[in-house]
C-alpha cells in the first residue's frame, strides 16, 4: 500500500516539509518486528532476500511509472 498520510515518524516527512511529494510504502505487519527495524539490533542475517527483491521491483516500477507521467505529482501546501 502507498499513502501520502503520516503514519508515524518516517523518512518521507523531510520531503513534505519542503514541498516535495512525500510518500511511504506501508509494510504488511505480518512477521514485522519493530524491535529490529532501524535500531542497534539491525542485522544482515535478518534480511529476507525474496522480500528485498520484491520491494526493489515494486520501487523500480513505481519510480518508472511516476517518471513517465504527463504531469508532475501533486504537491501539498507548505505549512
Which residues of the chain fall short of a pLDDT of 50? 35-36
The domain spans of the chain are 1-26
pTM for the full predicted model:
0.60
Nearest to 3 by CA among 22, 30, 31: 22
Distance set, CA 74 to CA 27, 28, 44 (Å): 23, 26, 36
pLDDT (0 to 100) of residue 69: 93
- Other CB atoms within a 10 A radius of the CB of residue 43 amount to 9
pLDDT (0 to 100) of residue 35: 45
pLDDT (0 to 100) of residue 67: 92
Amino acid at each position: 500500500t502507498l499513502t501520502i498520510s503520516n503514519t508515524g515518524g518516517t523518512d518521507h516527512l523531510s520531503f513534505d516539509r519542503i514541498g516535495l511529494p512525500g510518500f511511504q510504502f506501508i509494510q504488511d505487519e505480518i512477521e514485522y518486528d519493530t524491535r529490529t527495524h532501524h535500531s542497534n539490533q539491525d542485522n544482515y542475517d535478518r534480511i529476507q532476500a525474496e522480500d528485498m527483491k520484491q520491494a526493489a521491483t515494486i520501487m523500480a516500477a513505481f519510480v518508472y511509472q511516476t517518471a513517465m507521467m504527463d504531469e508532475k505529482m501533486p504537491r501539498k501546501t507548505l505549512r
